[in-house]
Structure 1
Amino acid sequence: METDLAEFEPKTANDRSVMHLLYGLHTLAWFSGGVFAVIALIINYLRRADETNALYIDHHNYMIATFWWTLLWLVVLSPLWLLFIFPGAIAYGIVWLWYLYRCIRGWMRFSDNRLT
């Protein structure tokens, strides 16, 4: 019976720094037109694939889900921009606040070594 040593590999300061960077990219995504979020999403998928630590897997999944739910709501609400500019702006503002809340909440929980 073989033992996978990666299961017992402790997390390094670099691993934590990458997670903080990813949360930072997601948090600042609105100021880059979403480019930072796409970059962070790609890294989330790549890092999650090789991850064995439940805390890190949970936070990667949390950031990925936040991104996709946000994109879904932006697409669903986009007709409001075509019909009525003011309701579209309010709807997008609410989505932006929800996204920001999710990023900050997840980041704080990760900093406290807690699952989302």
Structure 2
Amino acid sequence: MHPSRPRSDTTCIDPGDRLQLHVPRGTLLFAVEGQVHMVEPPRWLAEQMVSVEQHLSPGQVHEVGQDGWVQLTALAGAPARVARVPPPAVGPRLAAGLAKMRRAVALLARRGIRMA
């Protein structure tokens, strides 16, 4: 396996069974076989809590948009296998650059300069 490529975990779910997985934002869920109903963690949208739901068929991929618990249900018919690929780790140079950018934005905000 390539060192910068994240390792995937495969989960099997029996038909009708439900599984909850805690995943970070950016995790890819890949339906390997079977039909899966996926519900993302709830998030705020215009003063309402909403959850993204999607049916995944074999070969379909979904990127999780929010940290939290994802609920997977194998739909009737056959067991389902879902591969979970975590988001790539942020390298030290990128992390340092983001920290520097956050400090610069905070400094501008303290001086009353707004960024458009």
Check whether TM > 0.5. no
Which of 1 and 2 has higher RCO (CA within 8 Å, sep 6+)? 2
Larger strand share, 1 or 2: 2
TM-score by length of 2: 0.24
TM-score by length of 1: 0.24
